[in-house]
Amino acid sequence: MKTIINRILNSEFLTFNEVLRLKVAIVTIFLFIFVLLSIPLSNFNSFNLDINIIVPVIFALLLIFTLLFMIFNLNRLAMHFSIYTIIGLTIFYVVGSDHFYGYILFFVTLTVIIFYQDIITYLLYGGAITVYGVIYIIQNGDSIVGINSTGLEMSSLTYQIILIGFYITFLIQFIISDSIYEKMNNEWVRMNKVLEKYQDFSLEYLKEISESNEQELLYKNFKFQQTISELSIFINEFFEDKGENIAEYVEFYFFLHDQDINDIINDKEVSAFTRKNAIEFQKYLMNERSELISILFNFSTLFKGDSEYNEKRYEYNLDKLFSNKIDKLLSLAIFYKYLKTEITQYDKWGKIERVLTHEEVTELFVSKEFREFISFEQVNFYLDNQEIFEKYL
Amino acid sequence: MKQETHKYQFPQLEIYKESLELTHLKRKTIIFNSLVFVLAGIVLYFLIQLGSNGETVITTMLMFIILFLVNIAFYSYEQDHYNNLKIAMYISTLGVYIIAISLILRFQTPSMFTSLFLTYAITSIYQDYKAMILSNSALFISGTLLILRFPSIFEIVGNAESQTFFILVFLIVFVILLSLSSYILIKRKTFFYNQLAQIKESEIRNMELLLEIEKIKTNKTLDSKEYYNSLKIFSKELSKKIGIENVFERKIELLKDLKKLEMSDILAKYTEYTLKEIDEIKYMELEIQKKMTMIGIKASKSQGIEVSRKEIFSESQFKSFKHFGDTQYVKIISFVVFYTLLKLDKPYLFELEEEKVKDVLLNSEYFYRIDRNIINIYLDNNDVFDTIVNDHMKGVR
């Protein structure tokens, strides 16, 4: 329970799969409560004793399946089973009794489905349970009419409108969230790739520094390899009796640094086991811009860049950065000069030695992607005067 | 050991997150009001169908009108828009509950009682912590009080059995489920805002890191003098071509002076410009400011980046040492390599003391990038880790 609470409190740091697992765990706890409640409530329903025993047992079995799927990390399947359980419970409650609390379960079921935040699941299961709810009210509305109601028709209409309203409102909420988050996530993924490009360049410079200083590469250093081996064995001893089993993996990890890893991965003659390990280790190689290198660079940035925030800190569009026309033109000239004179590209040998040519800069300026940096007006001005840009900058 | 997850969060994030949220808050306010408008229409229809007296119709509709007016007022007042919209959100959340409760008390039927759930759904559009607390509390308190104080609401024609206890139990379970659900959903929203804000800041810091490493490699910095000289000739020729007075020259002079002079001296020398204008011109300065360099770096690296649909919301986009499907050995080795690298001096980052490494790994997002069992072993035995590294790596770099 303490783990679940901790995970809820820190759920913004969990991956999508971990969050889904957490949600299934929470729903399962609630379903367990509803299954337990079905025992005392069986006194109020119209089912016979056999059904009142068999149905809760089936629900308990469904819950066990849900838990099993969670244990085997089949979280989506577990999610579907938890939804089947709550739908089953709702039908059991509303069909077996003519009590108002049974009707509340329609809302509980929709809440559970909403909780999973999957639009297809919501449209499918949520839509189905709403339709069922409406049909139930049309057919059995008279069983939940309050004594203060003015009549069956208005009572039934109120129930239907509120249930449909509840469904539609959350559908709208879904659509808003989906569009907002998809846009944000799209930008995040794109920026992640841009960051990787910066890190590619940083790593290339580091390699060149190392080469020019004739330094031994760290992953070739015996002491470093020994440190990694010893630390790995130390951790592994907490998981296995023979902690040293991991040593062979450490050796393989460093061996991969001397090979073309893609050759190993694509070589059909190499065993599937070796190739699988190579794929897993590829993310953590030290001689290419791997995930390990990206994490390390990002970690380093925690200790850098302490300049203060201003509202244009993340603005890279010259048209938005400057309001004055002269400033817009002057900044365009600086921008052009930077691209044409600073070394920003790889040469044909993979070294960072090349500048962009005037033609390449022009091609970039007119490209769609560059609207992120300059406006149409600026491009048109540039095209009208490009010979001056080329000659004097 | 108490964990402070946000201890190492970039300080610039909060303000940017607010600006991101403001854009969405405006949209949500409009959608919320549209839904309330539809609700008002439905309520009016019901009141007319039920033949309610004029006083009931007018008071109910007046409540809706007041709610709209409050929203319009706060929406229109753009100064401190973010906080204004937040206040409007709290008022609206409570406002719709007040309207729902008044309708329930007016009609006293179980069908009308469920309008509380619809009200909850409408307020959930906001996806905000405080609004969520308000909404959940309002649902729980009003629901409980209505069940306990007005049990006759739930009396059903032809069914004499008391249901109050079970309705209350169901309501409690429902509210707890709703609270947990909205808490996690809002946390996820925070997650997206955080990720985006963080990567924006991370981009600047990665560019600075690149510049720092580039400087070590090339031992050169941007030649601002050469830039300004070229600009001077360029602007002269450009002015000649388009047949205008050289309006650029004075600004180029100002750019050069920005490095040498204090702001008070700049203002005294360039009286034709206001402080606000100079602040904007400053972005073009090339020695102290890095804005133009950053734009140049970003533009030179941003071509050809494409995002496929399957990459969005993909787990593989999250860089970590605990990828699903990786063997335990790979998770251990990758973490150990990372840890050891932190303990070594690098051209771009000095070696970190053990206490610092432990503090960052415990109190930052990096805690969640490492397998839970492995990070716990490290946190419990970090002195052993430190000793092993010190014993072997003495003298290496």
Helix and strand tally (H, E) in chain A?
Answer: 18, 2
Residues in chain A within 8 Å Cβ distance of B396: 218, 221, 223-224
Residue B328 token pair? 């335990």
ipTM: 0.84
Shortest CA distance to B96 belongs to which of B153, B149, B55, B38?
B38
Per residue in A17-44, is it b (16+ CB within 10 Å) or e — as a string? ebbbbbbbbbbbebbeebbebbeebbeb
Chains A & B: contacts with CB separation below 8 Å: 487
Q: How far is CA A45 from CA A41, A83, A140, B247, in A?
A: 7, 23, 15, 88
Say what the pLDDT of residue A44 is. 65
Within 13 Å of residue A373, how many CA atoms lie on the same side as its CB?
Answer: 29
Residue A351 token pair? 């070294």
Amino acid at A309: Y
In this structure, of A345-349, B4-8, B97-101, B133-137, the range with the lowest mean pLDDT score is B4-8
pLDDT higher than 60, residue B287: yes
Residues in chain A within 8 Å Cβ distance of B296: 335, 338-339, 342, 344
Q: Hey, is the C-beta of B229 within 8 angstroms of any chain A C-beta?
A: no
Q: Hey, is the C-beta of B141 within 8 angstroms of any chain A C-beta?
A: no
Do the Cβ atoms of B27 and A176 come within 8 Å?
yes
- Tens of each residue's pLDDT in chain A, 393 residues: 777 787 787 777 777 788 889 999 999 998 888 888 877 766 666 667 777 778 788 888 888 999 999 888 899 999 999 999 999 988 888 887 667 777 888 998 999 999 898 889 999 999 999 999 999 999 888 888 888 888 888 889 999 999 999 999 999 998 888 888 888 889 999 999 999 999 999 999 999 999 999 889 999 999 999 999 999 999 999 999 888 899 999 999 999 999 999 999 999 999 999 999 999 999 999 999 999 999 999 999 998 866 788 889 999 999 999 999 999 999 999 999 999 999 999 999 989 999 999 999 999 999 999 999 999 999 999 999 999 999 999
Q: Hey, is the C-beta of B239 within 8 angstroms of any chain A C-beta?
A: no
Give the pLDDT confidence of B333-376 residue by residue, as tens digits. Answer: 999 999 999 999 999 999 999 999 999 999 999 999 999 999 99
Residues in chain B within 8 Å Cβ distance of A148: 107-109, 152-153, 155
Residues in chain A within 8 Å Cβ distance of B118: 162, 165-166, 169
CB-count burial class (<10 Å; 0-12, 13-18, 19+) for B41: exposed
Per residue in A142-173, is it b (16+ CB within 10 Å) or e — as a string? ebbbbebbeeeebbbbbbbbbbebbbebbbbb
Q: Hey, is the C-beta of B52 within 8 angstroms of any chain A C-beta?
A: no
Shortest CA distance to A223 belongs to which of B285, B395, B68, B29?
B395
Shortest CA distance to B253 belongs to which of B232, B237, B278?
B232
Does an H or E element contain A57, and which?
helix A49-71
Do the Cβ atoms of B174 and A195 come within 8 Å?
no
Across the interface, of A147, A306, A356, the residue whose CB is closest to B155 is A147
Shortest CA distance to A219 belongs to which of A248, A243, A249, A251?
A251
Distance of CA A281 to the CA centre of its chain: 22
Domain boundaries in chain B? 13-199, 224-299, 317-393
Q: Hey, is the C-beta of B228 within 8 angstroms of any chain A C-beta?
A: no
Across the interface, of B194, B284, B367, the residue whose CB is closest to A331 is B284
Q: Hey, is the C-beta of B48 within 8 angstroms of any chain A C-beta?
A: no
Per residue in A360-383, is it b (16+ CB within 10 Å) or e — as a string? ebbebbeeeebeebbbeebbebbe
| Contact predicate B286/B292, CB 8 Å | yes
| Contact predicate A356/A299, CB 8 Å | no
Backbone conformation region of residue B219, classed left if phi is above 0, alpha if psi is from -120 to 50, else beta: left
Cα–Cα dist B391/A334, whole Å: 52
Across the interface, of A300, A313, A345, the residue whose CB is closest to B348 is A300
| Contact predicate A293/A199, CB 8 Å | yes
Residues in chain A within 8 Å Cβ distance of B241: 385, 388
Scan for tokens 């003391």, then name that residue.
B353
Scan for tokens 């060149």, then name that residue.
A208
Residues in chain B within 8 Å Cβ distance of A185: 192, 195, 312-313
From A238's Cα to the closest Cα of chain B, the distance in A is 8
Amino acid at A319: D
From B18's Cα to the closest Cα of chain A, the distance in A is 11
Within 13 Å of residue B143, how many CA atoms lie on the same side as its CB?
Answer: 26
Q: How far is CA A95 from CA A49, A90, A127, A136, in A?
A: 15, 8, 19, 9
Do the Cβ atoms of B348 and A8 come within 8 Å?
no
Across the interface, of A12, A206, A309, the residue whose CB is closest to B12 is A309
Say what the pLDDT of residue A98 is. 66
Do the Cβ atoms of B109 and A170 come within 8 Å?
no
**Other C-beta atoms within 10 Å of A325: how many?**
11
Residues in chain A within 8 Å Cβ distance of B235: 330, 333
Listed in sequence order, the residues at least 6 apart from A191 whose beta carbon sits closer than 8 Å to its beta carbon are B196, B199, B200, B203
Cα–Cα dist B135/B120, whole Å: 6
Q: What would the DSSP string read from start to end of A238-282?
A: TT-S-GGGGHHHHHHHHHHTTS-HHHHHH-TTS-HHHHHHHHHHH
The confidence band for B169, taking pLDDT boundaries of 50, 70 and 90, is confident
Q: How far is CA A106 from CA A118, A154, A282, B114, in A?
A: 18, 19, 49, 11
From A54's Cα to the closest Cα of chain B, the distance in A is 22
CB-count burial class (<10 Å; 0-12, 13-18, 19+) for A303: middle
The confidence band for B90, taking pLDDT boundaries of 50, 70 and 90, is very high
Do the Cβ atoms of A231 and B340 come within 8 Å?
yes
| Contact predicate A109/A86, CB 8 Å | yes
| Contact predicate B374/B335, CB 8 Å | yes
Rounded to an integer, the average pLDDT of B7-27 is 88
Residue A47 phi, psi (nearest 5): -80, 160
B 5-34 → A contacts, CB under 8 A: 5, 8, 10-12, 15-16, 19, 24, 27-28, 31
Q: Hey, is the C-beta of B159 within 8 angstroms of any chain A C-beta?
A: yes
Cα–Cα dist A382/A363, whole Å: 12
Say what the pLDDT of residue A105 is. 87
| Contact predicate B235/B246, CB 8 Å | yes
Q: What would the DSSP string read from start to end of B144-198?
A: HHHHHH-GGGG-BTTB-S--HHHHHHHHHHHHHHHHHHHHHHHHHHHHHHHHHHH
Q: How far is CA B234 from CA A240, A336, B345, B350, in A?
A: 71, 12, 45, 43
Residues in chain A within 8 Å Cβ distance of B371: none
Residue B94 token pair? 């409570």
pLDDT higher than 80, residue B155: yes
Do the Cβ atoms of A300 and B385 come within 8 Å?
no
* Dihedral sign (CA A333, A339, A340, A342): positive
* Nearest residue of B to residue A172, measured between CA atoms: B125
Scan for tokens 């709610």, then name that residue.
B67
Q: Hey, is the C-beta of B171 within 8 angstroms of any chain A C-beta?
A: yes
Across the interface, of A185, A195, A303, the residue whose CB is closest to B313 is A185
Say what the pLDDT of residue A38 is. 76
3-state class (DSSP) for residue B250: helix
Listed in sequence order, the residues at least 6 apart from B214 whose beta carbon sits closer than 8 Å to its beta carbon are A201, A205
Do the Cβ atoms of B173 and A34 come within 8 Å?
yes
From B258's Cα to the closest Cα of chain A, the distance in A is 15
Rounded to an integer, the average pLDDT of B300-306 is 88
Shortest CA distance to A199 belongs to which of B207, B302, B347, B218?
B207
Cα–Cα dist A228/B79, whole Å: 57
Do the Cβ atoms of B234 and A218 come within 8 Å?
no
Helix-helix angle B54-76:B13-49, to 10 degrees: 160
pLDDT higher than 60, residue B397: no
Residues in chain B within 8 Å Cβ distance of A224: 340, 392-393, 396
Cβ contacts of A115-121, under 8 Å, gap ≥ 24: A115/A23, A115/A26, A115/A27, A115/B177, A115/B181, A115/B184, A115/B185, A116/A20, A116/A23, A116/A79, A116/A83, A117/A174, A117/A177, A117/B185, A117/B188, A118/A79, A119/A174, A119/A175, A119/A178, A121/A79, A121/A80, A121/A83
Do the Cβ atoms of A194 and B192 come within 8 Å?
no
| Contact predicate B58/B48, CB 8 Å | no
Do the Cβ atoms of B167 and A100 come within 8 Å?
yes
